[in-house]
Chain A
Amino acid sequence: EVKLVESGGGLVQPGGSLRLSCATSGFTFTDYYMSWVRQPPGKALEWLGFIRNKANGYTTEYSASVKGRFTISRDNSQSILYLQMNTLRAEDSATYYCARDIGGNYAGFAYWGQGTLVTVSA
């Protein structure tokens, strides 16, 4: 069974940092791109970025809204995805989701975590 479980959310002050984790199981982690998506309260889903799979060198891409502040990484030995968030702003307050993206012949986003809430406030 494929599972994704996010953790690490919480309250952080503006300008602060936070690292989110996404523990995965039930699939060959290195075969898949992995994405981070967020959703501010009452608003739409927003793609933040992805990290490619082994076949594509584990390289990363980001949306313009977080490029330079957020970093996606992965621990392939433990099948964990990370999102390092720096210089946080109030508008970064959201529920953050990890999702299994594409891999091989599989289209992505069939599997999601339950989300972790990040609140940026003084």
Chain B
Amino acid sequence: DIQMTQSPSSLSASLGERVSLTCRASQEISGYLSWLQQKPDGTIKRLIYAASTLDSGVPKRFSGSRSGSDYSLTISSLESEDFADYYCLQYASYRTFGGGTKLEIK
């Protein structure tokens, strides 16, 4: 089974700050990775698919990238609505979520 190791598990940052989250895949997933945002009310939204393709309507301050087996989500300038939980999800072989990152306001 493919494991997804997500880091950090929590992150405290300020408005306007640039932050990056990372998921490392235990096996080759060939870019079959999405990033999801979950708000406190439980609502889940996909932000990025295929490692770097931004979903329609998602602000351009969000971006995704890949370096080998490491996949990153970067938010270029944090806004108040970005403080939420984030998960990566691989869909190359079955499905596996990362452990999540809780992004909090500093």
Contact = CB atoms under 8 A, between A and B. Distances in A.
B34 A107 contact: yes
Given A102-B91, A109-B34, A110-B55, A45 B97 contact: yes
A44 B44 contact: no
A47 B43 contact: no
A1 to B, nearest CB: 14
B97 A44 contact: yes
- The CB with the most chain B CB atoms within 10 A, among A37, A46, A50, A95, is that of A37
Contacts of B34: 107-109
Interface string A14-52: 000000000000000000000101010000111100100
B95 interface: yes
A34 to B, nearest CB: 12
Interface residues of A, number: 23
Contacts of B46: 109-110
Contacts of B32: 107
B95 A50 contact: yes
A42 to B, nearest CB: 10
Interface of B: 1, 32, 34, 36, 38, 42-46, 49-50, 53, 55, 87, 89, 91, 94-100
20 contacts: A39-B42, A44-B87, A44-B97, A45-B44, A45-B89, A47-B96, A47-B97, A50-B94, A50-B95, A95-B42, A101-B95, A102-B91, A107-B50, A108-B34, A109-B46, A109-B91, A110-B46, A110-B49, A110-B55, A112-B44
